[in-house]
Amino acid sequence: MDIAGWLRELGPGEYEPAFRENHIDFDVIRSLTVEDLKNLGIASIGHRRRLLDSIKACCQPTARRDLPLRRSRPTRNAAS
């Protein structure tokens, strides 16, 4: 999904032009702050909270995804 679709699904789709004009994509969105949202013109506290909560929920990596995948090594039998 793109940012415009995400905003429309979330509710505050009217801010899509501000996100587009400021080159905000899903790589950048993870680091947005309340001040950034204010600077984008998002005056509504409710919209800012909804956006930040959604960003936190969808963009935070989980511990399992952050762990490198390891191949299991065959265990040695102590008797061998």
Enumerate domains of the chain plus CATH numbers: 3-60 (1.10.150.50)
9 token code pair: 């699904």
CA atoms of 69 and 46, how far apart (whole Å): 39
The mean pLDDT value of the chain amounts to 77
Average pLDDT score over residue span 37-59 = 90
Terminal-to-terminal C-alpha distance of the chain: 55
Is the pTM of the predicted complex or chain greater than 0.75?
no
What is the model's pLDDT at position 8? 85
